[in-house]
Amino acid sequence: MKVLQYPDFTNSNPYQTLMYDALRHQGCEVVSFNASPRTLLKRLLTDPSNILHLHWISTHIVKPGKLRVSVSMVIFGTALVIWRLRRKKIVWTLHNLVNHEQQNASLDRLNSQIVARLADVILLHGESARTAAKEVLIVSENKFTVVPHGNYDGIITYHPIREPQTDFSQRGMRFLFVGSIKPYKGVPDLINTFKELAGPHQLRIVGHAADTDLRQMIKDSAEKDNRIACLLKFVTDSELEEHLAWADVVVMPYRDIFTSGSLVLALTAGRPIVAPNIGLIQDYVDEQCAFLYDPMEVDGLANALSKAARMSDHKESSRAAKKAADKLKWDFIGDQLVSIYEKLMARRSQ
């Protein structure tokens, strides 16, 4: 079985690397591809693969110029129609309902609805996504299949908590935000809320902020509290390991979330999280390894940080996080994906 994966972001996202390895372990031939819709169209005219597995389909939407974007959409849709006319199958992993930048949002939604109609199977990372996905994409229930987001074993190391509980009460809690910094992720809110948290606690903000205004806002806020450190750049895997090993808790103060690799990243490292109880978070964690809050509550984040700062058993929370991550092993997920592919191939031959 030969599967064409598009677009390919393995240079910046280990999620696909791990997925490809799992599929190859199951005997799948994986070919990854990243190009413009025009080049994709040429590729799909002759590509011998059995299945096209789509991922982030907004890459040609998040660009300036509605006319240019509209033309790209038509070419992209035409490429998929040609693929279907060749009696090939389409699987689409729905990572986001709309691009995080909200750029050309109406066109993005239309593009997603077109792809949803053409796809044979739409993969969701959790059951909680089903209702929202169905409402936005306007397709039948039987198109959706849940396949969880795999963990980052092999990329991130589990760092068990070894310090005695008394050490934490003396040095305070170490909070970490990690990942690309965008407006919807609520980093300024986190900084302002953390500054109200009394005690010798520490906060690190680690990640690239492309928005210059947001970047400056974060710097200005952090300078007023010497407990806060900011590393506003891309970090290597080894640097990421160091930050996760340093942290006690990973904080995700998102205003909006559908799927989060950062969540699974934290769990893989054995770190409990602070996060809003929205999106797919409730599908992956419970109170044993997470401090969840209602984002509509004014003091929701503050209360969750305060509760995390008073955590009574760090070692148990760390083990619970790792246990949650262990449920997301790629060998199991690879087997699920291959089973989906095989069913589609059997349907094609009928």
Predicted local confidence at residue 349, as pLDDT: 61
Reference 245, options 305, 306, 317, 162; nearest CA is 162
pLDDT digit string, tens, across residues 56-77 = 999 889 888 899 999 999 999 9
* 3-state helix vs strand vs coil in the chain, percent to 5: 45, 15, 40
Predicted local confidence at residue 165, as pLDDT: 65
pLDDT digit string, tens, across residues 297-337 = 999 999 999 999 998 888 999 999 999 999 999 999 999 99
pLDDT digit string, tens, across residues 95-149 = 988 887 778 999 999 999 999 999 999 999 999 999 999 999 999 989 999 999 9
Residue count of the chain, please give it.
350
Predicted local confidence at residue 152, as pLDDT: 95
Reference 185, options 275, 119, 63, 282; nearest CA is 275
196 φ, ψ to 5°?
A: -85, -5
**pLDDT exceeds 80 at position 181:** yes
Reference 41, options 3, 5, 72; nearest CA is 72
13 Cβ contact list (under 8 Å, min separation 6): 261
**What is the sign, positive or negative, of the torsion defined by CA atoms of 230, 231, 237, 242?**
negative
pTM of structure: 0.92
**Structure tokens, 206:** 């680690």
The more confidently predicted of residues 34 and 13 is 34
Predicted local confidence at residue 68, as pLDDT: 93
What secondary structure letter does DSSP report for 174? Answer: E
pLDDT digit string, tens, across residues 209-255 = 988 999 999 999 999 899 999 999 999 888 999 999 999 999 999 98
Predicted local confidence at residue 38, as pLDDT: 95
Mean pLDDT of the chain: 93
Predicted local confidence at residue 216, as pLDDT: 94
Question: 278 with 190: CB under 8 angstroms?
Answer: no
**What is the sign, positive or negative, of the torsion defined by CA atoms of 277, 173, 175, 227?**
positive
